[in-house]
Chains A and B, each alone.
Chain A
Amino acid sequence: MLIGVFDARNIRVLRLDSLWGAKYVARAFPCVAGKAVTAGFVTVSEDKDRASLAELDRKLAAVAGRREEKHGPVSGGRKSSSAGMALGMRISAEMIASTVVGLLIGWGLDRFFNTMPLLLVLFVILGAGAGGLNAYRAAKGYDSAIGLGRAMGKPKQGDKE
């Protein structure tokens, strides 16, 4: 049997997923308890086709299992290189943006309190500090992003519920 996932509003199969072994659900949001999506059962074919499909499924699951043993999680491989590059892009902008925001806040407060260079200098330093902190957090993955820690293949934390 094959199971598709239906969008409740326009009854239409969004995703057919029979290749992932026992997980007969949409790969996106596997265990959603929401009302918007209801998993429906679609009988695709007659009994004898079903039997052959089930057998194919078993074989595919076995192959996927072997591959995972050899090369680690299936989703890990290609994701990590682009995630690493994305992280690099993040860090540079993070430092600039924080300094600029510190500068703007300092300048605004100085104009308000008429203490021209004082708060400007203070907030630029604080801004640069914030930039460094943000870059550090991004790299370590403390901001729950796919940080360097995760990009380098640390075990992935699941949903943080």
Chain B
Amino acid sequence: MAGPLEQFEIKPLAEISAGGFDISFTNSALWMVIAAVLVTAFMTLSMRRGALVPGRWQGAAEVMYEFVANMLKDNVGSAGRKYFPFVFTLFMFVLFGNLLGMIPHGFAFTSHIIVTFAMALVIFIGVTIIGFARHGTHYFRMFFPEGAPIATAIILIPIEIISYFSRPFSLAIRLFANMTVGHIMLKVIGGFVGLIGIFGVLPFAMLTGITVLEFGIAALQAYVYTILTCIYLHDAIHMH
């Protein structure tokens, strides 16, 4: 029986190194490619006919589109329209990454903190650039809450700066931790099923419930990741 952490192991499928860096094509990269291909196929194939009255596949694609569009509209407003392609891509990629991890022998690339952190860093840097591009040096007012007495600046400004820089970390940690914990839990409880004979029915029943829960978490975490991106965009565009 494999240990609960072995499922997260990165195995190189094709060894490539360039300029001293190991850029091997790994199983994690493979599943990212699968996710990207699946998302593209899902969106293009189901919207191919573009019927006035949507069929099942087109209906599903439209639900996804509207879900993200509404999220962006509710949280950012009309100014967020420009960033819809990015936010939608992000949502679909994270969602498919999480869900592909639920397939037996699948690999959840979102269970690696470096993947979630890289995505979070792109969001963080992008949002900061948008903020400075729209507001110039006025964007520094982000670091001091409006209406607070000026004497509190010495404490509040470091706190605000820390809370601003904590954004990519909290984005990355949340997604990574949820996916990792869920997969470990499934594996550990799955180990009990065979181990305790007839009483294995109990952990098996539990496992069934947890599997359903994990599907929910997979979708919910994609939602949380995206909605926080929307919130950060809102802050950059409207400054509170």
Contacts and interface: CB of A to CB of B under 8 A. Distances in A.
Interface stretch (B9-17, B29-37, B100-108, B165-173): B165-173
B220 to A, nearest CB: 6
A134 B223 contact: no
Contact of B78 (A10, A32, A86): A32
Interface of A: 4, 10, 12-16, 27-29, 31-34, 36, 42, 44, 82, 85-86, 89-90, 92-94, 96-98, 100-102, 105, 123, 126-127, 129-131, 133-134, 143-146, 159-161
Nearest to A159: B77
B166 A130 contact: yes
B166 A42 contact: no
Interface string B197-236: 0000000000000000000000011011001100100110
Contacts of A4: 52
A86 B69 contact: no
Contacts of B77: 159-161
A82 B222 CA distance: 12
B158 A123 contact: yes
23 contacts: A12-B47, A13-B51, A13-B52, A16-B52, A29-B69, A29-B78, A31-B78, A32-B81, A86-B223, A93-B173, A97-B167, A98-B170, A101-B165, A101-B166, A105-B165, A126-B155, A133-B159, A143-B235, A145-B228, A146-B227, A159-B73, A160-B238, A161-B78
B164 to A, nearest CB: 9
B50 to A, nearest CB: 4
B231 A145 contact: yes
A129 B231 CA distance: 21
Given A86-B227, A98-B163, A134-B163, A144 B234 contact: yes
A96 B227 contact: no
B62 A89 contact: no
Main secondary structure of the interface of B (DSSP, over half): helix
A16 B54 CA distance: 9
A13 B50 contact: yes
Contacts of B228: 90, 145
Contact of A145 (B47, B52, B75): B75
Contact of B162 (A13, A105, A144): A105
Given A16-B52, A144-B231, 15 more contacts: A12-B50, A13-B50, A16-B53, A34-B81, A36-B81, A89-B174, A89-B178, A93-B173, A96-B170, A97-B169, A101-B169, A126-B162, A143-B240, A159-B73, A160-B234
Interface string B66-95: 100110011101110100000000000000
B162 A101 contact: yes
Interface in B36-61: 47, 50-54
